Structure 1
Amino acid sequence: MFKPYANDDDVLNIQGDAMTVSNGTTRVVLNGTLELTQDQRGLKAALALKDAVDAIVAALQAHPGLPAKVKEEPDAKPGVVQNPFQ
């Protein structure tokens, strides 16, 4: 289950990888183009998007002392991984 703002690792894919919802501790980023066609596939995608947005709204509403604006910097700084081939 997608838990908004829980970590910097989770990614939710909707309709394959047409739309991605990337988690962060200070922001959630939605990327892609999602076609909501008038069929079962479109309904499934729309419900997945609704679930994600509902979870984001619930997390924001439950946050005590929600700031007016977060800092304009990315969440986690990318780490350096030692090369295993050296």
Structure 2
Amino acid sequence: MTAFNPFGPDAQVQTIEQMTVENDPARVSVYGRLDITHDRAGLDNARALAAVLNAVVARLEAESVLPEHAQTAPKTHPMSNPFA
């Protein structure tokens, strides 16, 4: 598994079973389903998830200044309704 570079300049996608982690410069999105079972496969899944989340936390903690809330919607410009 390649190293996950949170908030990096290049888009990156990593999957663990049915869970997807998408990366871009503004956000890290996690979605899907991940079962962590009580066996060796569950341990592997837990370690993979922990590695991704630890990388995200480390990157955020390394920032000297973080805004209270990041912009969640993309910047757009006003548009007239073509169906009106």
Contact 1:7 1:23 in 2 (8 A): no
Q: Which residue of structure 2 aligns with residue 4 of structure 1?
A: 6
Please tell me the residue identity of whatever aligns with 2:65: G
CA RMSD in angstroms comes to 1.5
User: Identical aligned pairs, as a percentage?
Assistant: 39
TM-score by length of 2: 0.80
TM-score by length of 1: 0.78
Q: Deviating runs (4+, > 4 A) in structure 1? A: none
Q: Which residue of structure 1 aligns with residue 23 of structure 2?
A: 23
Bigger radius of gyration among the two: 2
Shift of 1:8: 4.8
The count of corresponding residues between Structure 1 and Structure 2 is 73
Contact 1:5 1:23 in 2 (8 A): yes
1:58 aligns with 2:52: no
Structure 1: unaligned runs, 5 residues or longer: 75-86
For the residue of structure 1 that corresponds to 2:21, the secondary structure is: strand
User: RCO (CA 8 Å, sep 6+): is it higher in 1 or 2?
Assistant: 1
